[in-house]
């Protein structure tokens, strides 16, 4: 039986001694009676394309990020040097193996397969997090961008995944979360839409709402008294614009309906690229302090001795009722230079 050959690659040496790469289609040639009289080869110079592919492979292999590729059956066909160093498996150990079934932890196999399937349908996925087990049995956290791979005709031939080892970052985030959660100050966080994303244990104790009750809820609309919502929203908006606020006082209503006074520092929250992703508020319950200050003011004002106070410029800022009676000057007449 005679067979024709399509897309056969071979090198051809020119008269000048240069090597060119040819992609050949070999077709049987027949006479008008159907007898074979030879072969016709239709070639294509793919020297430049081959050079590009080699450069592409070289760049992938020496990239400082783990890069892998699978074909349409999910079998590994790309595995660069960084992937080898990170995971511990050589390219010989993984090439032709099923990536998901053999190298992904069972609890994540379905989600990773879903990402690959989407890429094989032309839908790419960015910033997908999943764990990868090393040859030594260590669990790594990987941030993956899955890209559809196509041939020259645009046909999908597989998926290329560019990864980033975020194990250290995840560990830092967990430590950061642990420190926030165990801090002895109420700490909350909101995203760009004002929805609660952080609510530590001290906030739970202070306000009475559990983290499950507040997560995803709009902080201002649901937990701030109506007359103070505009002020609190303004502070959050400023922080979302990169302008942080220190020592901002506002009232917060607890789950039991009690009013507590909070002194807040609102800090802009950013991701690794510096993009604003929300606001973190570190609070201090100053309800007791304000109550003491009010009591202190009341005691001064009702004392049976004239009491006054001045600021650093010598201007009166305390003038109790007894001082009013003794001097005849009411406190409402304003600030003046002390002349006693």
Q: State how far the alpha carbon of 168 is from the alpha carbons of 133, 139, 165, in Å.
A: 15, 12, 8
The tokens describing 200, both together, are 């530590």
Residue 230 neighbours by CB distance under 10 Å:
10
Say whether pLDDT at 96 is over 90.
Answer: yes
Cβ contacts of residue 66 below 8 Å, gap of 6+?
Answer: 80, 82, 83, 86, 87, 142, 162, 163, 164, 165
Average pLDDT (22-32) is 90
**Mean pLDDT rounded to a whole number for the chain:** 88
Dihedral sign from CA coordinates of 148, 149, 150, 155: negative
Taking alpha carbons only, the member of 94, 203, 103, 112 closest to residue 161 is 112
Confidence of residue 136 (pLDDT cuts 50, 70, 90): very high
Say whether pLDDT at 1 is over 60.
Answer: no
Say whether pLDDT at 337 is over 50.
Answer: no
38 DSSP β-pair partners? 29
Say whether pLDDT at 18 is over 70.
Answer: yes
How far apart CA 308 and CA 324 sit, in angstroms, is 10
Helix (H, G, I), strand (E, B) or coil at 155: coil
Q: Are 142 and 155 in contact (CB under 8 A)?
A: no
| Domains and their CATH numbers in the chain | 5-45 (2.10.70), 54-165 (3.30.450.20), 180-289 (3.30.450.20), 303-333 (no CATH)
Confidence of residue 7 (pLDDT cuts 50, 70, 90): confident
Global pTM exceeds 0.95: no
Q: What are phi and psi of 190, to 5 degrees?
A: -130, 155
Residue 228 neighbours by CB distance under 10 Å:
15
Per-residue pLDDT at 135: 92
Encode pLDDT of 162-193 as tens digits: 999 999 888 888 888 888 898 989 999 999 99
Per-residue pLDDT at 335: 45
Q: How many residues does the chain have?
A: 340
Please state whether 34 falls in left (phi above 0), alpha (psi between -120 and 50) or beta.
left
Cβ contacts of residue 257 below 8 Å, gap of 6+?
Answer: none
Encode pLDDT of 234-290 as tens digits: 999 999 999 999 888 888 888 998 888 888 899 999 887 889 999 999 988 888 888
Say whether pLDDT at 338 is over 50.
Answer: no
Per-residue pLDDT at 215: 95
Q: Spell out a b/e string for 22-54, using b for 16 or more CB atoms within 10 Å of the CB, else e.
A: ebbeeeeeeeeeeeeeeeeeeeeebeeeeeeee
Per-residue pLDDT at 187: 93
Say whether pLDDT at 11 is over 50.
Answer: yes
Q: Are 311 and 289 in contact (CB under 8 A)?
A: no
Confidence of residue 2 (pLDDT cuts 50, 70, 90): low
């Amino acid at each position: 039986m005679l067979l024709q050959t399509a897309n056969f690659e071979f090198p051809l040496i020119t008269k000048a001694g240069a090597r060119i790469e040819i992609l050949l289609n070999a077709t049987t040639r027949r006479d008008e009676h159907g007898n074979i009289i030879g072969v016709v080869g239709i070639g294509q110079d793919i020297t430049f394309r081959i050079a590009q592919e080699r450069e592409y492979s070289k760049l992938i292999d020496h990239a400082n990020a783990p890069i892998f590729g699978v074909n349409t059956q999910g079998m590994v066909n790309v595995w660069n040097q960084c992937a080898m160093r990170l995971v511990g498996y050589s390219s010989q150990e993984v090439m032709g193996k099923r990536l998901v079934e053999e190298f992904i932890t069972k609890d994540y196999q379905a989600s990773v397969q879903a990402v690959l399937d989407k890429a094989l349908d032309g839908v790419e996925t960015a910033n997908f997090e999943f764990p990868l087990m090393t040859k030594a049995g260590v669990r790594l956290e990987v941030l993956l961008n899955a890209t559809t791979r196509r041939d020259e005709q645009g046909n999908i031939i597989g998926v290329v995944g560019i990864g980033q080892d975020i194990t250290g970052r995840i560990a830092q985030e967990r430590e950061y979360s642990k420190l926030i959660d165990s801090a002895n100050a109420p700490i909350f966080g909101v995203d760009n839409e004002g929805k609660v994303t952080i609510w530590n244990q001290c906030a739970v104790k202070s306000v009475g709402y559990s983290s499950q009750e507040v997560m995803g809820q709009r902080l201002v609309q649901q937990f701030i008294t109506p007359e103070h919502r505009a002020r609190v929203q303004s502070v959050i908006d400023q922080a979302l614009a990169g302008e942080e606020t220190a020592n901002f006082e506002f009232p917060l209503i607890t789950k039991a309906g009690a009013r507590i006074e909070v002194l807040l520092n609102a800090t802009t929250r950013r991701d690794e690229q510096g993009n604003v992703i929300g606001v973190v508020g570190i609070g201090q319950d100053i309800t007791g302090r304000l109550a003491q200050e009010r009591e202190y003011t009341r005691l001064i004002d009702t004392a049976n001795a004239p009491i006054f106070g001045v600021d650093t410029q010598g201007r009166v800022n305390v003038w109790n009722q007894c001082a009013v009676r003794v001097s005849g000057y009411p406190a409402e007449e304003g600030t003046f230079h002390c002349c006693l």
